[in-house]
């Protein structure tokens, strides 16, 4: 029998869902949230649960390949993208995925990336100590084949060496962001969403 999911991990996921829902980043049952657990395990939201109303029942455990510990439970369809971030980045302790208006619209207008520069909130990300910086947020084409999409993500990471920004956009779909723990992941998501909202607002002046 699998070990129970630690209560702290469940609470972190439940609270993250509420915070993201308050900002309209996870409409309907969209979005998914996960936390790395000891022993090569991942706690992740189950498919079909509204993130504003998560409970312990909505959280399940998988291994780093995305295989459920309890085969009767269905994890998020995009569990493979979470596990891919954990496999690639040993310091990643939490991954969040949301569907805001800004990240959806900008990803549909963008080419291979969205350029962010001059924003004070760039300092929310590792290695960016000043607003006098610029980063390219990768944009990948959406794909219902998650294993194939993860391969595209990994190819993007290989081209970038170490991503300056711990996140990426999926065209017309949403954003993935990770951090060493849930608080860091959410802070990075909030910073990125603010800058994307600013970029979308600037479109109305062009």
Count of beta carbons in the 10 Å neighbourhood of residue 167: 24
User: CATH number of the domain at 7-203, please?
Assistant: 3.40.225.10
Q: How far is CA 171 from CA 94, 103, 119, 140, 141, in A?
A: 22, 9, 23, 6, 5
Give the pTM.
0.94
Check residue 163 and give its pLDDT.
Answer: 54
CB within 8 Å of 65: residues ≥ 6 apart: 83
Check residue 114 and give its pLDDT.
Answer: 94
Residue-range domain boundaries for the chain: 7-203
Cα–Cα dist 48/65, whole Å: 21
Better-scored residue on pLDDT, 191 or 123: 191
Give percent of the chain with pLDDT exceeding 70: 97
13 phi-psi bin (left φ>0, alpha ψ -120 to 50, beta other)? alpha
Phi, psi of 68 (to 5 degrees): -65, 140
Check residue 1 and give its pLDDT.
Answer: 60
Check residue 161 and give its pLDDT.
Answer: 60
Angle of helix 182-203 relative to helix 101-109, nearest 10 degrees?
A: 60
Check residue 162 and give its pLDDT.
Answer: 57
User: Stretch 154-166: mean pLDDT, rounded?
Assistant: 77
pLDDT higher than 90, residue 26: yes
3-state secondary structure of 17: helix
User: Stretch 140-149: mean pLDDT, rounded?
Assistant: 95
pLDDT tens digit sequence for 107-131: 999 999 999 999 998 888 887 777 7
Given a contact cutoff of 8 angstroms between Cβ atoms, the answer to whether 43 and 9 are in contact is yes
User: Stretch 142-162: mean pLDDT, rounded?
Assistant: 89
Mean pLDDT of the chain: 92
pLDDT tens digit sequence for 51-102: 999 999 999 999 999 999 999 999 988 999 999 999 999 999 999 999 999 9
């Amino acid at each position: 029998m699998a070990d129970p999911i630690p209560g702290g991990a469940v609470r972190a996921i439940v609270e993250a869902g509420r915070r993201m829902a308050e900002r309209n980043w996870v409409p309907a049952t969209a979005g998914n949230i996960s936390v790395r657990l000891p022993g090569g395990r991942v706690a992740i939201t189950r498919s079909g649960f509204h993130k504003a109303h998560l409970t312990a029942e909505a959280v399940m455990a998988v291994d780093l390949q995305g295989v459920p510990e309890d085969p009767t439970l269905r994890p998020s369809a995009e569990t493979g993208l979470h596990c891919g971030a954990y496999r690639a980045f040993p310091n990643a302790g939490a991954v969040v995925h949301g569907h805001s208006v800004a990240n959806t619209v900008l990803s549909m207008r963008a080419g291979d990336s969205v350029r962010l520069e001059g924003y004070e909130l760039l300092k929310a990300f590792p290695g960016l100590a000043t607003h006098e910086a610029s980063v390219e947020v990768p944009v990948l084409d959406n794909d219902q084949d998650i294993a194939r999409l993860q391969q595209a993500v990994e190819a993007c990471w290989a081209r970038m060496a170490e991503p300056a920004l711990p996140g990426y956009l999926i065209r017309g779909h949403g954003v993935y962001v990770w951090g060493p723990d849930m608080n860091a992941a959410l802070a990075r998501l909030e910073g990125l969403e603010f800058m994307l909202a600013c970029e979308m607002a600037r479109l109305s002046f062009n």
